[in-house]
Amino acid sequence: MKVLLIEDNVELASSISAFLAREGYICEVSYNMRDALDKLISFQYDCVLLDIMLPDGNGLEILRFMRKDQVHSPVLILSAKNSLDDKIIGLEEGADDYLTKPFHMPELNARLRAIYRRKKLNGSNIIAFNEITLNIDTFEAWVNGTMLDMTRKEFDLLMYFMVNKNRVLSRQSIAAHLWGDYTDNLSNFDFVYQHVKNIRKKISAANGTDYIGTVYGLGYKFNTSRQ
Partner 1 sequence: MKIVDRFTLWFLGVTLLIIPINSVITYQSIKGQIDKAAITRLKHVNERAAQQLARGEAVGEFMQGCRIKAAPSDSTMPADFFLITDRDVKHDPDMEDYDRKITVASWHMINGVSYKIISGDYVTRSEQILAGLRESIMWKLVILIGLIVLTARLASRLVLAPFYSTLKKLQRFNLRSRTKLKFKRSRTKEFNELNCFVEKMTDKAVDDYIHLKEFSENASHELQTPLAIIRSKLELMSEYNIEGEQAVLISDMQNAVDRLMRINRSLVLLSRLENNEFECEELLDISRYARETVNTFCDLITIKGLTMDYRIEERVEVKLHTALVDILLNNLIGNAIRHNYAGGHISIELNSRHLMISNTGPEPQAPPEEMFLRFRKGTACQSSVGIGLSIVKQICDMNGFTIEYRFQAGHHIITIDFPSTFTSSKLLQNDTRYLHEKTQL
Residues that bind partner 1 (CB under 8 A): 9, 11-12, 15-16, 18-19, 22, 53, 80-84, 100-106, 151, 153, 167-168, 170, 172-173, 179, 182-188, 190-191, 194-195, 215-219
How many angstroms separate the Cα of 111 from the Cα of each of 32, 75, 123? 23, 11, 14
Backbone angles phi, psi at 174, to 5 degrees: -65, -45
Query: Closest Cα to residue 128, out of 111, 115, 145?
Result: 145
Classify residue 86 by its DSSP letter.
H
CB of 78 to partner 1, least distance (A): 9
Considering the complex, state which of residue 11 and residue 92 has its C-beta at the smaller distance from partner 1.
11
SS3 letters for 100-133? ECCCCHHHHHHHHHHHHHHHCCCCCCEEEECCEE
CB of 105 to partner 1, least distance (A): 5
CB 125 within 8 A of CB 135: yes
CB of 5 to partner 1, least distance (A): 12
User: Looking at 86-205, which runs of residues are DSSP E strands?
Assistant: 97-100, 126-129, 132-135, 140-143, 146-147, 168-170
CB of 26 to partner 1, least distance (A): 18
Considering the complex, state which of residue 86 and residue 131 has its C-beta at the smaller distance from partner 1.
86
Q: Give me the amino acid identity at 113.
A: R
Considering the complex, state which of residue 208 and residue 219 has its C-beta at the smaller distance from partner 1.
219
CB of 68 to partner 1, least distance (A): 27
3-state secondary structure of 44: coil
Considering the complex, state which of residue 119 and residue 165 has its C-beta at the smaller distance from partner 1.
165
Considering the complex, state which of residue 127 and residue 168 has its C-beta at the smaller distance from partner 1.
168
Q: Give me the amino acid identity at 143.
A: V
Considering the complex, state which of residue 70 and residue 182 has its C-beta at the smaller distance from partner 1.
182
CB of 72 to partner 1, least distance (A): 28
CB of 11 to partner 1, least distance (A): 5
Considering the complex, state which of residue 72 and residue 197 has its C-beta at the smaller distance from partner 1.
197
Q: Which residues contact residue 187 at a Cβ distance below 8 angstroms, ignoring those fewer than 6 apart?
A: none
Backbone angles phi, psi at 100, to 5 degrees: -95, 145
